[in-house]
Amino acid sequence: MELPAPLRQAVDRILEKIPLPELKQAAKTLSDRYRAELRDGRLHMAQDMAVKAYLATRLPATYAAVRASLDALNAARPDFAPKTLLDVGAGPGTVLWATNGLWPDLEQAILLEASAAVRKVGETLAADAITARTVWRAGDVTIDLADLQPADLVTCAYVLDEIVPASLPKMVDRLWQLTTDTLLIVEPGTPAGWQRILAVRAQLIAAGAHLLAPCPHKAPCPLTAPDWCHFSRRVARSRLHRLAKDADVPWEDEKFIFVAASRQPAASHAARVIAPPKSGSGKVLLKLCQEDGTATEQLFTKRDGADFKLARRLDWGDRLASE
């Protein structure tokens, strides 16, 4: 997956003439903070160079994860076409770009972001490219949600890992209050990210939400440690991306986990592939999260006819449905 051309071009313009050594150092510092899940009271992207490092090394991956999550939401609710978006912890507008790509008739977007440096870059990226009326607001996601207006689609991507755990239930409760239709929360695809999503999932189910994706059921997650639920998207690396990370291969795999919940039920539920398929001659083995709340491995062979033809086309994260 790649960034949309207008976004990629806007990023390239911002990163022109940035000294590579400075970008590499900023990228390393940013990566170290993310990996350590630091909660030291400082913003990860308070400074301009940190924002530029994010654009070069993290934006393509987070965009891919958000777009894949939105695609899964859309598959469960094909009738849903939001007119309004509220994105909290918006970064440089990653969710805005992914949402606009899927639903170009989006009319209004409110983006809450604490960092002035990030808001400035986000406004620059979206200028003349996003048709929705877009309003950027300064604010902390844990204390500045009271005055926001509800929206059809409320999103929070790669944010919970930066929040003190004790603050999360109140924050999630407020996000659900602000949701007139659907709420999407995306986190890094780590065991810790999965645990945060499980807590959010349980809270939303208790509040009466309908799960859209990835779970085809409301039962407790059937996976247990050391296994955990997550998905992956392969992301193309630009030349600058490779240089900034001292990377050799022209791609990377972004691991992520998400939950999409709605005030409306899904149009349909189907088992979901929750691990990379294992293919062999005339057969494919799929690990599936089933509608009955179990996780099973199912072998499909040529003898299964149409089911086999469908199964061999599926990838990690896909639904077992002929849609």
DSSP per residue over 185-223, as a string?
Answer: EEEESSHHHHHHHHHHHHHHHHTTPEEEES-SSSSPP--
- Residue 19: how many other CB atoms lie within 10 Å: 9
Whether residues 220 and 280 share a domain: the answer is no
- Looking at the domain assignment, is residue 248 inside a domain? yes
Whether residues 301 and 156 share a domain: the answer is no
Amino acid identity of residue 93, one-letter, is G
- Alpha-carbon distance of 250 to 254, in angstroms, equals 13
Enumerate the H helices of the chain as residue ranges. 5-15, 20-36, 48-57, 59-76, 94-102, 116-126, 168-177, 191-206, 239-245, 306-311
Specify the pLDDT at position 150.
Answer: 98
Helix%, strand%, coil% for the chain, nearest 5: 40, 25, 40
Whether residues 287 and 202 share a domain: the answer is no
Whether residues 192 and 292 share a domain: the answer is no
Specify the number of domains making up the chain: 2
Whether residues 169 and 298 share a domain: the answer is no
Whether residues 255 and 276 share a domain: the answer is no
Closest by CA position to 103, among listed 155, 176, 158: 155
Cα torsion 150, 317, 203, 199: sign: negative
Backbone angles phi, psi at 273, to 5 degrees: -75, 120
Specify the pLDDT at position 311.
Answer: 95
Specify the pLDDT at position 144.
Answer: 86
Specify the pLDDT at position 323.
Answer: 46
Whether residues 232 and 293 share a domain: the answer is no
- Alpha-carbon distance of 40 to 86, in angstroms, equals 26
Degrees (nearest 5) of the Cα angle 97, 101, 105? 105
Specify the pLDDT at position 100.
Answer: 96
Mean pLDDT by 10 residues, the chain (323 residues): 90 89 82 67 72 91 97 96 97 97 97 94 91 94 91 97 92 98 97 97 98 97 96 90 82 96 94 97 96 97 94 95 61
Closest by CA position to 205, among listed 172, 241, 157: 172
Which range marks the domain in which residue 224 is found? 5-262
DSSP type of residue 165:
G
Residue located via tokens 């949309």:
4
Specify the pLDDT at position 42.
Answer: 64
Specify the pLDDT at position 37.
Answer: 67
Specify the pLDDT at position 241.
Answer: 79
- Looking at the domain assignment, is residue 267 inside a domain? no
CATH number at residue 207: 3.40.50.150
